[in-house]
Amino acid sequence: MAIVLFGVCLQQNAKAQDIHFSQFNMSKLTLNPALAGAQHDLDAGINYKNQWQSVAIPYNTMGAAFDMRLTKSTNTKGFLAAGINVFKDGAGDAQLGTTEVALSIAYHVYTGTYSTLGGGLQAGMGQRSINGNALQWGDQYDGMIYNPMINSDEPFATNSISYFDGSAGIDWNYDNQSGRLDVTNNHDSKTNLGIAVFHINQPSYTFLGSGEKLYMKYVVHGTGLYSLKNTNVAIRPGFMLALQGTANEMYLGTLVRFNLKQASKYTGIFKNSALSLGGYYRAQDALVAAMLLEYANYQIEVSYDINTSGLTTASSGRGGMEVSIHYVLPNPFSTTTRAMF
């Protein structure tokens, strides 16, 4: 089994290489560094993904991020923002692990009353490790059974590598409620579109000492939130396309948002809340069913990947669960933005 799983790891290394969250819209700084400060004054969140538990040793990915606007909203030209994100990924029998810490800085200029155009840079340090002793190789078969005492002679140059990683992106954001004080509940018209390039410096990314470089990754993404007039319903479509080497990943889908309760206007006892249901299709791989609960400043999203690829025979469709929790300022149901400084 380890031989097969390591082969899968090598295949992923050769093609996809990067971590990914099915809730791509809830992991902004791994999607585009220009998203720092683009949509909220402050956003702090954590993400956790567990996948392939039905096939083998589970793959676990954990992430945490924080971003905020740094300059006063009274600046009529634009504002500065910064963010930090951390992720840790562990994969399979070989304990193939990736850890990265990255800093992002972005500047957004006003292109209209409710729109901004921003550019962002990201610099990170990463570490990648593997436990070669946990693997079993075909040349360790003695004709009868697997014999761990037989040397596999596999050409590992090292079990751990460190690397610098540089990325950049641009992002356009439109929010018809930004800065307004006179808009009541469920009158949203929001659009976010962006392009990013990751691994611009193409860091070395191999344990074999062969000089293999990490492919640059190109990402195009978009999300929206559009209220339906005279209802408590809104739609929140989204898409993401990532190209990296010979691999590609594409998401397309939408959630439907139902406003559950409007905040009490004077006492503040009752808080705004909304529930969104729906999903995405990840091309040639999975259906992603998702549920997002919003309560005041908090957002909690739970999703599950239903595997539809050729691995279905082994997985029986069971892909993996993902959970994210975010705290944002200002309250997404309100309309006033406030820069931190």
Question: Which of 83-97, 156-170, 262-276 has the lowest average pLDDT?
Answer: 262-276
- Give 169-221 pLDDT, tens digit per residue: 999 999 987 755 444 567 889 999 999 999 999 998 777 666 778 899 999 99
Quote the strand ranges of the chain, DSSP E.
42-51, 59-69, 78-91, 96-110, 115-129, 160-175, 189-198, 217-227, 233-244, 247-261, 273-282, 286-295, 298-307, 318-329
**Two structure tokens written together for 276:** 């969104």
The pTM of the whole model exceeds 0.85: no
User: Do residues 154 and 131 lie in contact, with contact meaning Cβ atoms separated by under 8 Å?
Assistant: no
DSSP 107-125: EEEE-SSSEEEEEEEEEEE
- Give 274-285 pLDDT, tens digit per residue: 999 999 999 988
**Two structure tokens written together for 157:** 């140059």
Long-range Cβ pairs for the range 82-88 (8 Å, 24+): 82/36, 82/37, 82/106, 83/28, 83/29, 83/33, 83/36, 83/37, 84/29, 85/27, 85/29, 85/30, 87/19, 87/30, 87/61, 87/62, 87/63, 88/61, 88/62, 88/63
Residues in the chain, overall count: 341
Q: Which residues contact 312 (CB under 8 A, 6 or more apart)?
A: none
Our measurement of the distance from residue 260's CA atom to the centroid of its chain's CA atoms, rounded to an integer in Å, reads 27
**Two structure tokens written together for 19:** 């971590």
Our measurement of the distance from residue 94's CA atom to the centroid of its chain's CA atoms, rounded to an integer in Å, reads 24
* pLDDT for position 174: 96
Task: Assign 7 a pLDDT band (cuts: 50, 70, 90).
Answer: very low
Say whether pLDDT at 20 is over 90: no
Say whether pLDDT at 291 is over 80: yes
Residues forming beta bridges with residue 250, ordered by sequence position: 241
User: Do residues 214 and 17 lie in contact, with contact meaning Cβ atoms separated by under 8 Å?
Assistant: yes
Residues forming beta bridges with residue 273, ordered by sequence position: 261, 295
Torsion, CA 136, CA 207, CA 197, CA 104, rounded to 10: 110
Q: Which CATH superfamily is domain 2-329 in?
A: monomeric porin ompg (2.40.160.40)
Task: Assign 53 a pLDDT band (cuts: 50, 70, 90).
Answer: low
